[in-house]
A and B are shown apart, each in its own frame.
Chain A
Amino acid sequence: AQTVTQSQPEMSVQEAETVTLSCTYDTSESDYYLFWYKQPPSRQMILVIRQEAYKQQNATENRFSVNFQKAAKSFSLKISDSQLGDAAMYFCASLEYGNKLVFGAGTILRVKS
């Protein structure tokens, strides 16, 4: 079965600095997708970034980028130039064939001004 592990329950970053959130996963499939979701306090969870496992190039969305290490089954999220609005719970998730997402336990990100 798929598993996703986020080993950092909480992280802090100074505004304008860079922070990296860690995620490891386990799967027996060769084709799968990986995601980072963001859930701001009392708001809906939204997709931040997506990575297809067959693509070697790391995904990037503006200030958000991933470091996808397929052999190591690692999928970290880097947030550059952190902003106060980045403060949220971040979930790493994976998806194999089908549509069932498997989530990690989440990392709370605090941004200090």
Chain B
Amino acid sequence: EAGVTQFPSHSVIEKGQTVTLRCDPISGHDNLYWYRRVMGKEIKFLLHFVKESKQDESGMPNNRFLAERTGGTYSTLKVQPAELEDSGVYFCASSQGNLAYNEQFFGPGTRLTVL
């Protein structure tokens, strides 16, 4: 069974440009999460989808970030326009079920560098 995949693995862009990150969850997983780790700091929650609906987007830093999950399958996270402080590693995770606890399986992350 394929794990969570993310594309691209690395992205280097100029300040003010737009970048779109993609996450493909494990097949059949209704829950999809985005997290971000800014250099040397904690991994922070960004948002949580249940199928195509945003369950919790309390971690989204500002309106330059837009996440979508059309059809409840893969998800994209767009940053427009990118700022220097957006640099970091963006992780996607997925889980199945709606129990109080469902193990989250993580992708390898996308390393975003904004110059």
Q: How far is the CA of A98 from the CA of B48 in the complex (A)?
A: 10
Further pairs besides A44-B4, A99-B56: 8, Cβ < 8 Å: A44-B108, A45-B109, A47-B103, A95-B101, A99-B31, A101-B35, A103-B43, A106-B42
A64-113 residues at the B interface, CB under 8 angstroms: 91, 93, 95, 97-106
Question: Mostly helix, strand, loop or mixed at chain B's interface?
Answer: loop
Is A43 positioned at the interface, with any CB of B under 8 Å from its CB? yes
Report which B residues bind A (CB closer than 8 A): 3-4, 31, 33, 35, 40-45, 48, 55-56, 58-59, 91, 95, 100-104, 106-109
Contact sample, A vs B, 6 pairs, CB 8 Å cutoff: A52-B101, A98-B48, A99-B31, A103-B35, A103-B43, A105-B42
Q: How far is the CA of A50 from the CA of B58 in the complex (A)?
A: 25
By the criterion CB–CB under 8 Å, are A91 and B43 in contact? yes
Closest A residue by C-beta to B45 = A100
Contact at A105–B95, with CB atoms within 8 Å? no
Q: Are B102 and A99 in contact (CB under 8 A)?
A: yes
Cβ distance B37 to chain A, nearest Cβ, rounded Å: 8
Nearest chain A CB to B97 CB, angstrom units? 10
**B92–chain A nearest beta-carbon distance, Å:** 10
Contact A105 to B40, CB < 8 A, known contacts A99-B33, A99-B95: yes
Report the nearest A residue to B95, measured CB to CB.
A99
Give the size category of A's interface with B: 20 to 34
Judge whether B106 and A98 touch: CB under 8 Å: no
Residue of A nearest to B48 (CB): A99
CB-nearest residue of chain B relative to A105? Answer: B42
Which 5 A-B pairs give the minimum distances between C-beta atoms?
A103-B43, A45-B106, A44-B108, A100-B45, A105-B42
| Chain B min CB distance to A68 (Å) | 16
Q: B99's closest neighbor in chain A, by CB?
A: A99
Taking a contact as CB atoms under 8 Å apart, the answer to whether B106 and A46 are in contact is yes
Contacts of A33 in B (CB 8 A): 101
Smallest Cβ-Cβ distance to B4: which chain A residue = A44
Collect the chain B residues with CB atoms within 8 Å of residue A101's CB.
Answer: 33, 35, 43, 45, 104
